[in-house]
Chains A and B, each alone.
Chain A
Amino acid sequence: MKNSSPETQESAVTFENMNGAYKLSVLKSMLRIRMVEEEIAKRYPQGKMRCPTHLSVGQECVPAVIGTLLSESDLAVSTHRAHAHYLAKGGDLKAMLAEIYGKQSGCCKGRGGSMHLIDEKVGFKGSTAIVGNTIPIGVGLALSQKLRGKNDITVVFLGDGAIEEGVFYEAANFAVVKKLPVLFVCENNLYSVYSPLKVRQPQGRKICDIASTIGLHSQEGDGNIVAETHRVLTTAIDVCRQGQSATFVELHTYRWREHCGPHYDNDIGYRSEAEFLAWKERDPIELYKTQLYKAKILDAEKLQVMIRQLETEIQDAFQFAETSPYPPSEQAYSPVFAQGVNINIAEVANG
């Protein structure tokens, strides 16, 4: 999370003239996501994380950058593939891992698993497992932000597959009509499960163009390049925060591991090893590291320190998750309804 207030974010602030500390913080966030996901992949076959799990390895750039551009009062919702979004928004790592392990200390007390993450403290309002499910919910959050007259925005993370759900058009249309402060961040990784884009959407038509035709302020960019992702996102966030328009960004990227689960699956035939290797050449972290080395912002020692810090944090968090107890089985039968009356008297009295 960025510490400075959102007001200091000007569109004139380009990535190039951001300071070194900021640039390193983006790297650290990317590395953190990568290392967490890789550790999950490594441990998953032990059979202790017993839930469907979708990793974001290869897609770290977009979440890491946007995480530095939002404030805590901004909100976010996401999808089945949400670990990176949750972490970038400032979500508690320990609570996420404990949730994947099904533990009492998990962010949903073990009820949701990997596909259902939440951290209300940092405005991560929930990720859900049904494609498209959180798209209108994010728009609703933005509606409430607008009605309250605050300067906050809501980010809706979605994939290229979710664009195919009717609810995207319904929600985007309303967001445009009402000029809601919502930013749709579409990570186009070319696939929905094993289905390539070409069997789902016409070739040559761009997702960002659909969004712009609907009336959203829309841009696209290379989601594996930090500077470009930063440029596209700062513009979108500015437009959104100033209340000019609901916004959309399409960022091109690639998932390295299988759709669901810890393994690589380039051998099963839905995509080629060559395609994967070409994307791996464009590893967002390696590309960014090279750039930082060149600019003399990063050196081998700084990198080592960063990695060691992250390793300690991540190992601790896994230790926490693995040693936390399961919720007692009776807790499955805790109430499905909230209690009480849902009126905030003070707010009503104050108008």
Chain B
Amino acid sequence: MGERSLTFAQAINEAMHLAMEKDPEVLCYGLGVDDPKRIFGTTKGLQEAFGEERVFDMPTSENGMLGIGIGAALNDMKPVMVHQRLDFFLLAMDQLVNAAAKWFYMFGGQRSVPITIRLMLGRGWGQGPTHSQNLQAWFAHIPGLKVVMPATAADAKGLLLASIFDPNPVVFLEHRWLHHQEGNVPAGWQDDVLGKAKVLRTGTDITLVAISYQVVEALRAAEVLQSVGISAEVIDLRTVQPIDWATIEASIAKTGRVLALDTGALTCSVSAEIVARSAEKQFSLLKTAPARIAMPDFPEPTSYGLTKSFHPDARNIVTQACKMCCVTEIEKALNSLTVPEHHDVPGEWFKGPF
């Protein structure tokens, strides 16, 4: 099949169309799935193609509406629920944790819950304390949930299809700063698997294990690191539950250095898990202490002034990687990184408000 360039949002949209065409029991619902904005374009054309019974708006009732999706899933439907912010979905933690995550195991493996929950991770333009939380570690901490975090357009499509047709509950996290990013996406059906990481760039000196938007920063950093003689391997984790340890461990065995990059708060993060595991399992192979870069352990403030250095980016990665590789030309490396005019937007085209 040929490849075309699509945005991440278009790739999600294409996956939804393919899934709904393939299986009449795939549903799509959530606040605004049929409104003029169509969830940043990701649900475009669905209601027109598949009707109001399968694609529908909902009351502002997150917990109840998740439970309703779980019920439908227990009767073999495959609901895809959408929330424009992860933060709104926090109201549904009871249904997610006590029902969806438990059902298969608790009832002796008789019935699983094939539901997919798409949550958007906000950032920038003053999204602030309650519109920007990256709580992947919460979800990953619950046995029984799969947690998917694509970083590229092609993976957005492939992993969403894999999530929808996975027999288990999947939390599918889309970073708002990825929606507009373009990439080559194969046309037609795409087979992918959950729980497999991808090596996006091979290297020999240090392993950068990144998730979601941090993959973009890791690739920028790797380019610059090359110029000061550091060969960085970039792993896009793609799924944070289950984690593809084999790919990570093989890379660390080669480089002897690991730097984990997270979009969530540092303490008890996914990156903490990667560091812990590498120390436990590969201690003798490590040339330097494993490290991680994540968000500070603070709520994200709203102010433009307060967020100036709040989100770690390629600069932090370059600095840390240089230290770990005992390379002193940090300034030189940093100088070749372009700094955007405004730190709080994914591009100058973004004018708010959401």
Contacts and interface: CB of A to CB of B under 8 A. Distances in A.
Interface secondary structure of B, over-half rule: loop
Interface of A: 44-45, 47, 50-53, 102-104, 106, 108-116, 128-132, 161-162, 164-167, 192-195, 199-201, 260-262, 268-270, 325-329, 331-333, 336
A268 B308 CA distance: 34
Contact of B354 (A52, A165, A332): A52
Contacts of B62: 165
Interface in B314-347: 344
10 contacts: A50-B125, A50-B352, A53-B353, A110-B303, A112-B128, A195-B32, A199-B56, A200-B58, A326-B306, A329-B309
Contacts of A167: 91
A53 B352 CA distance: 9
B57 interface: yes
B302 A332 contact: no
A166 B64 contact: yes
Interface stretch (B7-15, B147-155, B221-229, B293-301): B293-301
Contact of A51 (B36, B126, B309, B351): B126
Contact of B57 (A195, A325, A328): A195
A192 B88 CA distance: 14
B127 interface: yes
A192 B298 CA distance: 30
Contacts of B297: 336
Interface secondary structure of A, over-half rule: loop
Contacts of A270: 35-36
Interface residues of B, number: 44
Given A195-B35, A270-B36, A332 B298 contact: yes
A129 B128 contact: yes
Interface in B24-67: 31-32, 35-37, 56-64
A102 B125 contact: no
A131 B131 CA distance: 12
Interface of B: 31-32, 35-37, 56-64, 87-88, 90-91, 125-131, 296-299, 301-310, 344, 351-354
B64 A111 contact: no
Contacts of B353: 44, 51-53, 260-262
B32 A333 contact: no
B174 to A, nearest CB: 18
Nearest to B127: A52
A52 B125 contact: yes
Given A51-B353, A102-B304, A332-B307, 8 more contacts: A50-B344, A130-B88, A195-B32, A195-B57, A268-B36, A326-B304, A329-B305, A333-B298
B272 to A, nearest CB: 19
Contact of A110 (B61, B64, B87, B305): B305
Nearest to B130: A129
A329 B309 CA distance: 7
Given A50-B304, A111-B301, A166-B61, A333 B296 contact: yes
A192 to B, nearest CB: 6
A171 B129 CA distance: 24
A329 B308 contact: yes
Contacts of B31: 192-193, 195
B129 A102 contact: no
Contact of A113 (B59, B64, B128): B128
Given A52-B354, A112-B129, A103 B303 contact: yes
B301 A110 contact: yes
Contacts of B32: 193-195
Contacts of B305: 102-104, 110, 325-329
Nearest to B122: A52
Contact of B306 (A132, A192, A331): A331
A332 B61 contact: no
* Interchain residue pairs A-B with the least CB separation, the first 7: A326-B305, A51-B126, A110-B303, A102-B303, A113-B302, A194-B35, A164-B59
A161 B305 CA distance: 33
Given A102-B305, A113-B303, A200-B60, A194 B126 contact: no
B60 A164 contact: yes
